[in-house]
């Protein structure tokens, strides 16, 4: 190893690196080109999208001169250099050397030890074997190692290994500029390997050691930025940790680290990293903004307080919302494996949790659901590789075989931002692609609303040309009920789960896996390999003989309405006929030989919801305002019996429409209007939290309007 530095510098770098055990396809960090490419192609969260190659090269520019600053060379090291200098004489070092970056140098202590009036200069063009490549990064001037030579004397040669390392690093930068990310990654990794060898080698001179430390630090930092752009968070943490070990105050590394920690929702640690970076760059707006963002997210994740008013009221783009874990925990259930439970008494509308989608995938109707599943699984597998926490989160999800699997109960901190959790070393959490596909099959949610920007989907008439599916991990522990007690809204990728009625401490939280109004929900639910035995399903079973004929009739109309072969006229006829069924269904419900309260009777209507909505459509086509109001009132009542049905958009829209028609009928100063207003406010409060009556009225005024079909919809 003694002569390694000279040898390395003289040899062709690629050959040398192969000899050192370097393989072009598998880097020392263990990722292959394929793997890196797949990370790069995976969707990025908005906050990472601004991390461009430019920011990497910008970092290189900013920090470049620091590499060889004489200020960071201790007097002992300098003596060493001067002793080895080909001039064979001692050189003076001036204080002014590399002024531009002097202030940035962290090694104040080392500066103190330096004689104040010496300057060393090496011109590596003269000495480096790769001198043709040693043009400065801007091709403006020849590449110079910034250890400057003394007054007009001949420049001594820099340590060849340092030159070689710097050249390798610059090759990486050049490759990056040409768009060859993997090539750049190769060069940085190569440089890190060789630099670390040199640092371990006792024969490496102190000067070379100092330079190698700086170059290796910069390579770690540049590589971390590449990893950041590829969303390989854990790798960013590893590389920045190494860089910061070499220079604890290296701003670029602190910034990358902060960003990775932020993406991993380790907001507290991200704030620490950004603060440290800011203390070195007081005027850096990017760092200040990142710090502000992490502080905001940290506050959100602790308090569950989000400002989404502009998103709701003005249709602004969805703001970033951090995950939040409210009064919930995961427990064993007697009938459905594990489930999510509320830990304290809460009112309707209480925010239970906020969860950002780990991945969302869309497909057109022509593609199969299997395509969607494969897309999602690929993205999730990449994320699991990028973050241990995600890997554990996915590991705990069911694969649909509760009798065979026993992942146990995950601690809730696994899902809580900035919280420590203890990975169980006994568990084999490795996931194969097939494992993830199975988990996707049993744990994803329909993401159409999130894809269409949350509430804005209403503007598109409740249709989206694509089918979308997403993975929200903590909500995946919700079991199904046909009368769910929670409801969902979206703010971009963030799913907000709220209590849809008052809940007692210890109650199990439920959602509906299919539309509550789906008359064939029993069949739809089979996909999750269980049979629902909730109260509503039990009641349906008892009522089946009395409602069977009507249901079959409705099925016929429904299939004609959705048939591609049916003409427009046929479809309209079916809508009218199904709307005509209202009276008969009401009669049948009245004559049911069962002692059931009004709410439970409404459960029967829920399964016939389509006839009530068709009835509203027919009423809307006419001019009778009372008929429209009656139809809307009926729908509001039905939706209330199932606590809004698990997703709040329909109930908000129905009640907004009701309020508008009421106002149109008698104005706002009637007792009737007041009663409806109270009802409507309750629906909005449950869906969006307590934002105040004034806000909701403004929301209805600004954002709910008639579309071409005369429906009241949420404006885009
Ligand atoms: C999204 S997971 C819900 C969490 C799941 N219980 C667990 O332990 O991971 C869906 C699976 O939970 C079970 N499940 C959900 N709701 C159920 C219910 N009402 N009755 C029985 N099993 C249910 C089914 O096995 C279903 O495939």
Ligand 1 atom closest to Cα of 396? 9
Query: Per mean pLDDT, which range of 144-158, 228-242, 273-287, 502-516 is the poorest?
Result: 144-158
* Residue 21 included in any domain: yes
* Residue 430 included in any domain: yes
Mean pLDDT of all residues in the chain? 78
Domain of residue 36: give its range: 4-231
Query: CA-based Rg of the chain, rounded to a whole angstrom?
Result: 33
Q: For atom 9 of ligand 1, which residue has the closest CA?
A: 398
SS3 call for 118: strand
**Which one has a higher pLDDT value, 651 or 296?**
296
- DSSP symbols for 488-555: EEEETTEEEEEESS-B-TTPBPEE-SS-TT-TTHHHHHGGGS-----HHHHHHHHHHHHHHHHHHHHH
Q: What tokens appear for 3 in the block?
A: 């002569």
Ligand 1 atom closest to Cα of 476? 1
* Residue 676 included in any domain: no
Task: Answer yes or no: do 112 and 255 share one domain.
Answer: no
| pLDDT tens track for 9-56 | 222 222 222 222 223 333 333 444 554 454 444 433 433 333 333 333
How does residue 563 score in pLDDT terms, banded at 50, 70 and 90?
A: confident
**CA 591 – ligand 1 centroid, Å:** 35
**CA 511 – ligand 1 centroid, Å:** 11
Task: Answer yes or no: do 219 and 238 share one domain.
Answer: no
How does residue 279 score in pLDDT terms, banded at 50, 70 and 90?
A: very high
- Please give the DSSP secondary-structure letter assigned to residue 149: P
Q: Average the pLDDT over 549-562 and give the result.
A: 90
Q: For atom 21 of ligand 1, which residue has the closest CA?
A: 336
Last residue of a domain, one of 248, 273, 303: 303
**CA 641 – ligand 1 centroid, Å:** 23
**CA 485 – ligand 1 centroid, Å:** 16
Q: Average the pLDDT over 251-266 and give the result.
A: 95
| pLDDT tens track for 58-102 | 333 333 333 333 333 334 443 443 333 333 333 332 323 322 222
Checking if the pLDDT of 6 tops 80, the result is: no
> How far from each other are the two terminal CA atoms of the chain, in whole angstroms?
68
Q: For atom 13 of ligand 1, which residue has the closest CA?
A: 336
pLDDT over 70, % of the chain? 74
Ligand 1 atom closest to Cα of 335? 21
**CA 681 – ligand 1 centroid, Å:** 33
Distance CA 346, CA 486 (A): 12
Residue 41 has, within 13 A of its CA and on its CB side, a CA count of: 8
Q: Using an 8 Å Cβ cutoff, are 487 and 648 in contact?
A: yes
Q: Assign residue 468 a region (left: φ > 0; alpha: ψ between -120 and 50; beta: otherwise).
A: beta
**CA 478 – ligand 1 centroid, Å:** 7
Task: Answer yes or no: do 94 and 44 share one domain.
Answer: yes
Last residue of a domain, one of 516, 533, 564: 516
How does residue 271 score in pLDDT terms, banded at 50, 70 and 90?
A: very high
Q: For atom 26 of ligand 1, which residue has the closest CA?
A: 528
- Residue located via tokens 């969303």: 231
Q: Using an 8 Å Cβ cutoff, are 456 and 716 in contact?
A: yes
- Phi/psi of residue 703, nearest 5 degrees: -110, -10
Provide the domain count of the chain.
Answer: 3
Q: Average the pLDDT over 616-637 and give the result.
A: 90
**CA 475 – ligand 1 centroid, Å:** 12
pLDDT at position 453, please? 54
Checking if the pLDDT of 529 tops 60, the result is: yes
Ligand 1 atom closest to Cα of 402? 25
Contacts of 434 (CB under 8 A, 6+ apart): none
Task: Answer yes or no: do 342 and 442 share one domain.
Answer: yes
Q: For atom 22 of ligand 1, which residue has the closest CA?
A: 336
- By most ligand atoms within 8 Å of CB, the mutation choice from 441, 470, 479 for ligand 1 is 479
Q: For atom 7 of ligand 1, which residue has the closest CA?
A: 338
pLDDT at position 154, please? 60
Residues with CB under 6 A from ligand 1: 335-339, 398, 400, 402, 442-443, 476-477, 479-480, 528-530, 532
Task: Answer yes or no: do 147 and 19 share one domain.
Answer: yes
Ligand 1 atom closest to Cα of 481? 19
Task: Answer yes or no: do 91 and 51 share one domain.
Answer: yes
pLDDT at position 451, please? 72
- By most ligand atoms within 8 Å of CB, the mutation choice from 398, 399, 478 for ligand 1 is 398
- Please give the DSSP secondary-structure letter assigned to residue 44: -
Checking if the pLDDT of 157 tops 90, the result is: no
- Residue located via tokens 């241990």: 388
Task: Answer yes or no: do 259 and 169 share one domain.
Answer: no
Q: What tokens appear for 549 in the block?
A: 């004929």
| pLDDT tens track for 360-403 | 988 776 667 788 899 999 999 999 998 999 999 999 999 987 66
- By most ligand atoms within 8 Å of CB, the mutation choice from 338, 395, 530, 533 for ligand 1 is 530
Q: What is the CATH number of the domain that holds 258?
A: 1.25.40.10
Ligand 1 atom closest to Cα of 534? 19
Checking if the pLDDT of 458 tops 80, the result is: no
- By most ligand atoms within 8 Å of CB, the mutation choice from 528, 529, 535, 536 for ligand 1 is 528
**CA 337 – ligand 1 centroid, Å:** 6
Task: Answer yes or no: do 352 and 282 share one domain.
Answer: no
Task: Answer yes or no: do 206 and 128 share one domain.
Answer: yes
Q: What is the CATH number of the domain that holds 348?
A: 2.170.270.10
- By most ligand atoms within 8 Å of CB, the mutation choice from 333, 335, 337 for ligand 1 is 337
Distance CA 377, CA 442 (A): 12
Task: Answer yes or no: do 294 and 334 share one domain.
Answer: no
* Residue 155 included in any domain: yes
* Residue 312 included in any domain: no
pLDDT at position 46, please? 34
CA distance to 90, 447, 465, per residue, from 315 (Å): 70, 19, 21
* Residue 392 included in any domain: yes
Last residue of a domain, one of 516, 533, 559: 516
Q: Average the pLDDT over 116-123 and give the result.
A: 34
* Residue 50 included in any domain: yes
* Residue 271 included in any domain: yes
Q: Where are the alpha helices (DSSP H) in 42-180?
A: 46-49, 53-63, 75-84, 99-102, 108-113, 124-127, 160-177
Task: Answer yes or no: do 12 and 55 share one domain.
Answer: yes
Q: Using an 8 Å Cβ cutoff, are 106 and 250 in contact?
A: yes
CA distance to 289, 547, 632, 652, 677, per residue, from 667 (Å): 48, 40, 17, 21, 12
Task: Answer yes or no: do 48 and 182 share one domain.
Answer: yes
**CA 402 – ligand 1 centroid, Å:** 9
Distance CA 237, CA 239 (A): 6
**CA 451 – ligand 1 centroid, Å:** 25
Q: For atom 19 of ligand 1, which residue has the closest CA?
A: 480
């Amino acid at each position: 190893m003694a002569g390694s530095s000279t040898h390395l510098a003289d040899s062709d770098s690629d050959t040398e690196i192969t000899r050192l055990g370097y393989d072009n396809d598998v880097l020392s960090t263990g990722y292959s080109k394929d793997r890196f490419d797949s990370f790069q192609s995976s969707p990025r969260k908005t906050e990472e999208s601004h991390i461009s190659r430019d920011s990497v090269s910008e970092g290189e520019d900013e920090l470049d001169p620091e590499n060889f600053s004489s200020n960071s060379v201790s007097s002992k090291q300098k003596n060493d250099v001067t002793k080895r200098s080909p001039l064979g004489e001692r050189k003076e070092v001036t204080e002014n050397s590399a002024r531009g970056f002097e202030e940035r140098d962290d090694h104040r202590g080392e500066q103190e030890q330096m004689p104040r009036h010496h300057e060393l200069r090496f011109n590596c063009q003269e000495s480096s074997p790769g001198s043709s490549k040693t043009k400065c990064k801007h091709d403006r001037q020849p590449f110079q190692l910034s250890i400057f030579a003394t007054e007009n004397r001949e420049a001594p040669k820099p340590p060849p290994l340092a030159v070689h390392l710097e050249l390798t690093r610059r090759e990486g930068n050049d490759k990056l500029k040409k768009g060859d990310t993997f090539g750049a990654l190769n060069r940085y990794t190569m440089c890190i390997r060789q630099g670390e060898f040199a640092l371990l080698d006792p024969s490496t001179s102190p000067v070379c050691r100092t330079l190698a430390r700086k170059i290796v630090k910069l390579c770690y930092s540049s590589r971390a930025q590449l990893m950041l752009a590829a969303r390989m968070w854990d790798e960013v943490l590893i590389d920045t940790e190494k860089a910061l070990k070499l220079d604890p105050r290296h701003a670029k590394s602190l910034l990358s680290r902060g960003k990775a920690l932020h993406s991993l929702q380790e907001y507290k640690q991200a704030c620490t990293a950004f603060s440290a970076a800011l203390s070195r760059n007081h005027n850096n707006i990017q760092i200040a903004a990142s710090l502000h963002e992490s502080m905001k997210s940290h506050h959100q994740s602790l308090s569950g307080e989000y400002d989404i008013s502009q998103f709701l009221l003005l249709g602004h783009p969805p703001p970033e919302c951090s995950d939040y874990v409210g009064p919930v925990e995961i427990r064993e259930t007697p009938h459905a494996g594990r489930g999510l439970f509320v830990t304290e008494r809460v009112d309707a509308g209480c925010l239970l949790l906020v969860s950002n989608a780990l991945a969302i995938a869309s497909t057109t109707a022509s593609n199969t659901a299997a395509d969607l599943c494969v897309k999602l699984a690929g993205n999730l597998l990449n994320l699991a590789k990028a973050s241990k926490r995600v890997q554990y989160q996915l590991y705990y999800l069911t694969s649909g075989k509760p009798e065979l699997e026993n992942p146990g109960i995950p601690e809730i901190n696994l899902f809580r931002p900035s919280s420590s959790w203890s990975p169980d070393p006994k568990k084999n959490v490795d996931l194969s692609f097939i494992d993830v596909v199975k988990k996707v099959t049993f744990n994803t949610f329909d993401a159409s609303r999130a894809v269409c920007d949350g509430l804005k989907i209403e503007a598109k008439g409740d249709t989206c040309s694509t089918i979308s599916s997403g993975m929200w991990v903590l909500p995946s522990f919700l079991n199904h009920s046909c009368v769910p007690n929670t409801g969902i809204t979206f703010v971009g990728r963030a799913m907000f789960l709220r209590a849809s009625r008052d809940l007692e401490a210890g109650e199990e939280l439920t959602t509906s896996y299919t539309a509550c109004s789906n008359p064939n929900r029993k069949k739809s639910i089979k996909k999750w390999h269980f049979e629902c035995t909730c109260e509503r399903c039990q009641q349906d079973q008892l009522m089946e003989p009395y409602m069977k004929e009507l249901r079959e009739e409705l099925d016929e109309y429904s299939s004609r309405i959705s048939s591609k072969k049916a003409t427009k006229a046929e479809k309209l006829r079916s809508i009218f006929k199904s709307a005509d069924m209202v009276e008969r269904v009401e009669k049948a419900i009245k004559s049911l030989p069962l002692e059931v309260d009004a709410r439970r009777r409404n459960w029967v209507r829920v399964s016939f919801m389509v006839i009530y909505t068709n009835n509203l459509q027919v009423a809307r086509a006419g001019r009778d305002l009372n008929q429209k109001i009656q139809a809307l009132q009926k729908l509001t009542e039905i939706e209330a019996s199932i606590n809004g049905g698990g997703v709040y958009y329909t109930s908000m829209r129905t009640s907004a429409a009701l309020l508008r028609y009421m106002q149109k009928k008698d104005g706002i100063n009637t007792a009737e209007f007041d009663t409806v207003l109270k009802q409507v406010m309750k629906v909005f409060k449950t869906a969006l939290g307590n934002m105040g009556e004034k806000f909701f009225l403004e929301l209805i005024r600004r954002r709910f309007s008639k579309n071409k079909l005369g429906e009241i919809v949420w404006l885009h």
